[in-house]
Structure 1
Amino acid sequence: MQEEIRLTQFSKGGGCGCKIAPSVLQQMLATGDKGSFPDLLVGNESSDDAAVYLLNEDTAVVSTTDFFMPIVDNPFDFGRIAAANSISDVYAMGGRPLMAIAVLGWPVAQLPPTVAQQVLEGGRAICREAGIPLAGGHTIDSLEPIFGLAVTGTVSPQNLKKNNGAQEGDFLFLTKPLGVGVMATAVKRGLLKEEHYRILLKQLTTLNSVGEALGKIDGVHAMTDVTGFGLLGHLTEMAGGSGVSAEVNYAGIKKVEGFDDYLQLKTIPGATARNWSSYGNGVAFEEDLNETELVNLLADPQTNGGLLIAVAENAVDEVKAVLAKNNLQEHLTPIGRCVKKGEKTIFVKASA
């Protein structure tokens, strides 16, 4: 009998936890020459989720790519997760995906091509769910398995949502619970129970398609998806880029079911500490909060995490209606609010 293949054992990291630390990435992207492309609506300058290029007054192209090493052992599930995570970047801009092409690196001397085929089938399944074709791609022989997509979409310029448009007084919403980094590390260590795997898989493969509808709401001032830098990292980018600070209500943050069980087992991804070291000096919190507990949840690297949305007060009811219509009733309570820029970018309160 062939020994069961565990994909996570072929990679040093998994999911968006593979991301380079925010502080290191900033050094890589530092440049004094942004070029002269007036129709490039979104490039590197805003640390946004995708590039956006204006075609005409009615249409802009959204272009993004995202790929990583296995976050779960099942190849079909890995393909689904990687595809959902890639497509999310288009939704985070308020856009609609049109098509995708695959990015596949495969250690052909270690893993049979039939396993890669299952990964691609998983990616194709999520593309079908999003209503787009997986239209081609590129493959290389690599030391570790890698999979993801390059996704092309469109957005009306007036519906484009960047991550740096938040305003003082905006309410902050988050459309998924946190904690998948801890859960995924439990997968890699062979500790995750089957019932928790099903919960984790559902979150990791759920499309953030509500982003397209949210993009049509004028009162949505900023939007991004929470991925490898954790909630605090992506909120730091949003608030810092918008010239405001943010207050977060820790008691209102939802956790993936089972998170606390695995936190006790110390299945904490290495990216959590890397994240915190990159932006922790911009975060303050109430004295009665436990810093270790706070960091392990709020800096936990997410894969295909929820949308983080900054919403004007007069648009809150409209946003709640859209979330409820998209079966996101559990996320109708804001997790915080944007405030006047202060000494720290983020202040975490114990409760509202």
Structure 2
Amino acid sequence: MNKILKSIFSLALFFAFVMPVFAADLTVGNDSNARPNIDTYSNFTIIDTNNPADFSGDLVSFSYWASNVNAFRFVVVDDVSSVIWVSDEITPEYIGVNTFEPLTPVHVEKDWNIGLYFASTGTVPYVYDGSASYWTPNNFGLPEVGDVIDPEDGFGSSATDRTYSFVAIGEYTLDWGSEVNASACTNKIGKPVINITMKIKNDIDSGFHGYWAYDNNNRQIQVWKTTDGENTYCAIARYEGQFDAQKDMNSPGAGDISTLDGDEDGTFQGGYRATITGNLLETPLWETKGNVETIDYECNIVTTVCTYVSWVDQYFEETSIFSYNWWGWIYHGGSHGTWINAEEGSVGNIE
């Protein structure tokens, strides 16, 4: 976390033409427990809003309780209740807990919800509790992608508090590759004025509960002049590296704190996109192309003392202004979990 605020100069490695998406664990919906009530409407759609996606990700499996074997479909709506995806028709194998796995993962974004379309009367049961559910009128028909199911715009019919017996599971994703791709600098001019790679040693990494790991990493930095204004530049930094968690430090995630035992090592990727407004130095302190020196930050995780070096200061005058447009990193700890810390939010943990 402090890396984002302080250490635009710290982190990690880059693969020039790859635009990766990395993953952790995601759940949307409630659970697949039995509940007492079944819908009496037919050929209609209802959206459960109890537990929307808390981050972007890909859903790979839907678990649900079937009170009968009537055919139905799952429906995904976005944060303005627009239909994004409708599943193939699903016929439960038996009464009880069933599983549906779509042929391809279903992408969701933060605050998107899952609903149900029942061809005949309801299949998946509910209880009158939880957050408001929105539905279409009886015999309204199968929803199509782009339809809006919302009581306030005339398409939706009503709302009441309901919790349905389903849950979808999948993987959180951080599409950092597209955010730090050259195409994200939309108003760039010509070739980059700075295009370097470098290595960083002995950096310290901070989470929501303090410093927790040492980092060794590589990064590529590219800077273009833009048409956004005089002396305005778009900078992209791509990182990849390794973290070495330290014994007795706190886990980095935003949730409950756990104490690390020092074995929670792994890799991380990510980067940032930024705007720099200012003048380039007439004579830069580093080469503007190719590999530059390996820098040892010489950090001490106990005292938090480091010898930081700013790449920006090697190329721009001191009066230059640096501001982030996007930032994000994903940490892979194997059996110790995955942590995403990005502009969109923080999910998961290393513990």
- Decide: shared fold, TM above 0.5: no
Q: Which structure dedicates a bigger proportion of its chain to helix? A: 1
Give TM class, smaller chain: under 0.3
Q: Which structure dedicates a bigger proportion of its chain to strand? A: 2
Q: Which has the larger radius of gyration?
A: 2
Q: Which has the higher contact order (CA 8 A, sep 6+)?
A: 1
